[in-house]
Every structure is written in C-alpha cells, then in structure tokens.
C-alpha cells in the first residue's frame, strides 16, 4: 500500500475542491444495518453504522458477531474548557487522525487495522466536504450518513488493510458526545480476515475498551486464545484493539482481563 494511502495527506487545493463541490453532494442514507446491532446497554444518542460488505453484523448470519456493552466517550469535562481550534484543518475535519492498532502476517500476507478519528464539521458545507474526504479515504458510501447528519459530530472509523486490497470497513460511529466505557466494558466485532472472503470464518476481532484496560483476551473455537494490549488512538477517548485467529479456527469470544 502506498505512502499516500497511509498518510492521507490532502493539499489545500484538494480541500478547496471538496468545498466547491459541497453543494452538489448527494445525501447518503444511514446504513440499514444499524438496525441489527445488538447487545449491551442502549445509550442515548448512539449512532453506529457497520459496513454490510464485511458481514460484521447481518441478521441471521452464522457466526457474525457484534457485542456492544458500552460506547466510546469522553471523560467529564472540567468547568473551564480551553479554546477549540477554529479551522477545519486544525480540527481534523478533512484529514483524520490515524493510528495503527495492530498488524500481522497471515501465511505471508500482511494485514493491519487502523482507526481514524474525524473532527466535527461546524456547518453543512464542512460536512459535505468531510463526506467527500471520507469517500476518498476509503470509507464505503453505504455506511456513511448524510452530510447534514455529521454536523457537530465527531466520527471514528476502524478499517482493515489485507495485502494489497483496498481498505475494508469494520466499524463506523458518529456522535455529538462520546459516552465513556467503564472498567470491564468492551465493544467488539468479528469479521473474515482473508481478502474477498466475506463468507469465510470470522478470524479478525476488533473493538474498543476503557482506557483503564490493560489486556484483552481473544478466544478461538479451537480452544486457544490470544492476549493483546489495547492501543491509545489519537483523538479517541477509548483504547482500541485487534487480534487475528490462526487459520483453521475462528472467533469465539473477546473479554477484558487483568
């Protein structure tokens, strides 16, 4: 994969182009797959979209799993809040903060999971330009909400690179205020790992945990397990993790451990 994709740098002319096209941006409906997200507490103002193409959560699908027991959230803010950056560039509206959460090799094919955090647009023009930037970044349009639904909201996106395949969506979420994850809470999803293998066994597990979490254990159906240390992600109030099952087995469970 090229350094351009890895860094996602956008020139000022690119941003100007996005803003110029904002008026022509077509509103994209929220992915219907939201309706099948299940498990955990239903929290106020939650909006999660998951890419249908990855079969992360499909009603009635065998083995497809999404366990939600909490949502990313910011800690209580102090009474005195520092002044926020004013420009879209400083707020990461068009170019997200990107952090690699995990990487590995699957029988000679490299893979890695990244999380991008997108700042909140302040008006419809910024939001329309952000949608265009998200599409350019690699987020499939079928999981993106309409641009007007992004105004005033921060978005986070986790995606998978497998070999030379394009970025594959894992989890997309957007909200005005991210609610915190408490100790022991975990949000995770399992998907096939291999390129183009949407019907294969769910071998990749990715998700988020409280910042206090030291370890996450991913258990596989063959009785083995993998322990990983969650990573801090730039711009995110929660830590993220990912782990991959060996070939010949698949996801069974993910849990926080000491």
**Residue 179 DSSP one-character state:** P
Phi, psi of 172 (to 5 degrees): -130, 135
pLDDT of residue 14: 54
Binned at pLDDT 50, 70 and 90, residue 227 comes out as very high
Binned at pLDDT 50, 70 and 90, residue 232 comes out as very high
pLDDT digits (tens, 9 = 90+) for 96-113: 999 999 999 998 999 999
Cα separation, 141 vs 254, in Å, equals 29
- Residue 242 CB partners (closer than 8 Å, separation 6+): 101, 102, 113, 158, 204, 205, 206, 207, 228
Structure tokens at 28: 């994209």
Q: Which of 116, 117, 115, 120 is nearest to 88 (CA)?
A: 120
pTM of the model: 0.71
- Residue 80 CB partners (closer than 8 Å, separation 6+): none
Q: What is the mean pLDDT of the chain?
A: 76
Percent of the chain residues past pLDDT 70, beyond the cut: 67
Res. 40: pLDDT tops 70: no
- Per the CB < 8 A criterion, the answer to whether 202 and 64 are in contact is yes
Segment 11-27 shows an average pLDDT of: 46
Segment 103-127 shows an average pLDDT of: 96
């Amino acid at each position: 994969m090229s350094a351009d994709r890895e860094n996602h740098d956008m020139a000022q002319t690119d941003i100007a182009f996005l803003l110029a096209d904002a008026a022509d941006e077509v509103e994209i409906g929220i992915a219907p797959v939201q309706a099948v997200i299940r498990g955990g507490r239903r929290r106020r103002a939650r909006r999660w979209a998951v890419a249908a193409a990855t079969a992360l959560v499909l009603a009635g699908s065998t083995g497809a799993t999404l366990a939600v027991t909490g949502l990313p959230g910011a800690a209580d803010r102090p009474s005195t809040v520092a002044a926020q950056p004013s420009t879209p560039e400083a707020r990461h509206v068009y170019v997200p903060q990107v952090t690699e959460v995990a990487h590995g090799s699957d029988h000679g094919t490299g893979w890695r999971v990244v999380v991008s955090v997108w700042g909140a647009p302040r008006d419809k023009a910024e939001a329309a330009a952000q949608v265009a930037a998200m599409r350019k970044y690699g987020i499939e349009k079928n999981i993106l909400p309409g641009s007007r639904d992004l105004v005033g909201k921060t978005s986070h996106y986790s995606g998978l690179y497998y070999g030379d395949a394009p970025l594959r969506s894992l989890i997309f979420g957007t909200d005005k205020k991210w609610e915190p994850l408490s100790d022991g809470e975990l949000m995770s999803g399992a998907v096939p790992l291999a390129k183009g293998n949407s019907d294969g066994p769910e071998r990749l597990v990715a998700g988020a945990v409280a910042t206090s979490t030291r370890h996450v254990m991913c258990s596989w159906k063959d009785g083995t397990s993998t322990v990983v240390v969650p990573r801090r992600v730039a711009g995110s109030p929660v830590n993220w993790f990912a782990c991959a099952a060996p070939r010949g087995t698949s996801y069974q469970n993910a849990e926080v451990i000491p």
